[in-house]
Amino acid sequence: MKMTYQDIKKGFLSNCAQTGSTDTNLLADFNRNLAQRYQLIQSKMTDYKTQITQTASTVASQQYYQYPPGIVNTEAATVTIGSVIYPLITIYSQQDWNIKNAIQIQPTTFPTFIFPRKNDFGLWPIPQDAYTITFNYYPRIVDLAVDDYVSGTVTVADGSATVTGASTTFTTGMVGRYFQITDTSISGYGQDYQIGAWVSTTALTLANYWQGVGTSSLTYRIGQCPEIPDEGHITLVDGVTADFYFGLRNDPTTAQAWENKFWTGDRTNTARDTGDENIAGGLIGLMNRYASRDDKRVILVNPHTNFMSSSIFAQTLT
């Protein structure tokens, strides 16, 4: 089951014997440590699928473009010409890029190569029209900081992606968060659905169709959830608890026990070998479970010539 930011905060306060606390210093320390633990887990979970897609549009005679917001690094990019999607070949060398740009006559009017830089990317040949570029990329992780939204009630229907609210104030910021019916009187409650689009203050569109009994006046919640495997959400609670005892409480013995649980799932296990197959819990156990999944990042180190940029293709166009 997914945990929301609010679930994690409640778990942390319970572990620290601070249930219900509104102490601003405590909560500020929690948010800071949560952000760091979340980034740590993300950096370790290199085999967990976190790729998403986003599009951008080219401009005639413009070669360099800013990345869409949120991109850390790109896995692949394509250009759409009419109804056909062509892969863009990545150039990693500045020298190779300079050689391409030294060619005076472009073989095509649309791009076939992409040159990623720190803050922008270049396309060659230089686009001569508006084309759609689609990035498959690893996103920048957004810090968890938003409590659950539960105001009003909602209506859902089996096989429909529409959520209709009553006495609600849905916002565009809810897109990407998770929607869950909390009314236990119907089947389908407790299942998480990501929000795909905002329609109005009283209507949202789910990324997937609702599958359960459709009815009205249901209680619900919309929460911000970590983009890591569901079973790993509890490690965030353990990690921020350890940080509290290391820091504000200044109790290194208790802190070490929670740190052990964060890494191994066992408060007495001090092992930190990330390849130890005997560890089933904690972050190490999570890494071990996902490390065996075939989700390697493939990079074309020495790509073959793209047929669209070959001399034969250029002559055919001519």
Please tell me the pTM assigned to this model: 0.75
Domain map of the chain by residue range? 52-140
Name the burial class of residue 256, with classes exposed (0-12), middle (13-18) and buried (19+) by CB atoms within 10 angstroms of its CB. middle
Q: What is the pLDDT along the chain (318 residues), one digit of tens a residue?
A: 799 999 999 999 999 999 999 999 999 999 999 999 998 998 888 655 556 788 889 999 999 998 877 777 777 899 999 889 999 999 999 999 999 999 888 877 889 999 999 889 999 999 999 999 998 877 777 899 999 999 999 999 999 999 999 999 999 999 999 999 999 999 999 999 999 999 999 999 999 999 988 899 999 999 999 988 999 999 999 999 999 999 999 999 999 999 999 999 999 999 999 888 899 999 999 999 887 654 443 333 333 334 333 333 343 343
pLDDT digits (tens, 9 = 90+) for 254-291: 999 999 999 999 999 999 998 888 999 999 999 998 87
What are residue 163's phi and psi, to 5 degrees?
A: -115, 120
Angstrom distance (rounded) from CA 89 to CA 228: 30
pLDDT of residue 106: 80
pLDDT digits (tens, 9 = 90+) for 178-221: 999 999 999 999 999 999 999 999 999 999 999 988 899 999 99
